[in-house]
Amino acid sequence: MSKFALPLRYGFALAASLIAFFLILSLFDIHTNPIYSMFNMVITAFAVYDAIRSRKHELKDQFKYHNGVAAGLATGFVGTIFFTIFMSVYTSDLNPDFLNDLTTHFLHHSELNPMMFSFVVAIMGFATTVVMTLTFMQLFKKSVHRK
C-alpha cells in the first residue's frame, strides 16, 4: 500500500465522522453548545490510533517510531483540513446564523467571523492530532529497556 493511502483513507473517514457528528447534533439543535465538541477529540483519537495501529500491522518488524508519527499526524491533518472546509462552508453559506447563535450563548459582546471561527477549528484539530499522536506512540514504540 502506498504510504499516502493509509492517512488519506483514515483522514477522510475522520472528516466524515466529524461532519456526521456535527450534523446529528444540529438535528437536535444542540450544535451551538461547545461542550459537545469535546467528543471531536474522542473521534480524532480513535482515527489516529487506528491509523497508527494499521501502519504498525502493515510494516510489522520494519515499523519505526517515525512511521507511526507520520501516519498519525497525516491522518489528523487530512481530517482536520476537510472538517475545517466543511465548517467554513457551513458557517458562511449553509447556516450564516450559526455564529450569532454560538456567540449569543457563550461569548457575550464578541464578534466572531467565519474566518476566525475556521482558524480556531483548524488549530483545535491540529493540536488534538499532535497530542493524540504523541500519546499513542507511547503505546506503539519499541521498548529500549532490556529485561
Distance CA 123, CA 130 (A): 11
Q: How far apart are CA 121 and CA 101, in angstroms?
A: 17
More confident residue, 117 or 20: 20
- Residue type, position 122, single letter: A
Of the spans 32-41, 53-62, 70-79, 110-119, which averages the highest pLDDT? 70-79
Q: Say if residue 74 is exposed, middle or buried (CB neighbours under 10 Å; 0-12, 13-18, 19+).
A: buried
pLDDT of 1 strictly over 60? no
Neighbours of 147 (CB within 10 A): 3
CB-CB neighbours of 37 under 10 Å: 15
* More confident call, 69 vs 114: 69
Question: Over pLDDT 70: what percentage of the chain?
Answer: 91
Q: Report the pLDDT value the prediction gives residue 107, as an integer from 0 to 100.
A: 61
Q: Which pLDDT belongs to residue 129?
A: 97
Confidence category of residue 34, pLDDT binned at 50, 70, 90 = confident
